C-alpha cells in the first residue's frame, strides 16, 4: 500500500478498530489511534504485548474491520 491515505483517513475520522494485513501473512489489530504512527513510507504499530512493529508501507496489502465477537447465548 504505497498510498497511505486510506490508513490516514481511518485515523482522522471517527475511530473504529481495524486490522492491518501484511504481505507475509502477519496482521496487526489497531484498537485505538494511540497504537499506530504513520510516516511517509513506514507505519509503526504497538501490539497487545507492548511491542513495536515498524513496517514498510509497501508490505501492507489491506486494511479490514476486526472480526465481530459473537454474544454468548445461554
Give me the pLDDT at residue 20, please: 95
Alpha-carbon gap, residue 40 to 55, rounded angstroms: 12
Q: Where are the domains of the chain?
A: 5-64
The domain defined by 5-64 folds into SH3 type barrels. (2.30.30)
Q: What is the pTM of this model?
A: 0.83
Give me the pLDDT at residue 70, please: 66
**Torsions phi, psi of 19, nearest 5?**
-120, 135
Count CA atoms closer than 13 A to 50's CA, side-chain side: 0
Using one digit for the tens of pLDDT, what is the confidence trace for 10-54?
Answer: 999 899 999 999 999 999 999 999 999 999 999 999 999 999 999
CA distances from 18 to 12, 56, 74 (A): 13, 18, 29
CA distances from 23 to 1, 39, 56 (A): 10, 19, 11
Residue 67: pLDDT band (50, 70, 90) is confident
Amino acid at each position: 500500500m504505497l498510498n497511505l491515505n486510506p490508513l490516514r483517513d481511518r485515523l482522522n475520522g471517527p475511530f473504529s478498530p481495524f486490522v492491518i494485513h501484511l504481505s507475509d501473512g502477519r496482521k496487526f489489530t489497531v484498537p485505538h489511534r494511540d497504537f499506530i504512527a504513520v510516516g511517509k513510507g513506514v507505519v509503526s504499530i504497538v501490539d497487545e504485548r507492548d511491542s513495536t512493529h515498524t513496517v514498510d508501507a509497501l508490505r501492507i496489502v489491506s486494511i479490514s474491520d476486526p472480526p465481530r465477537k459473537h454474544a454468548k447465548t445461554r
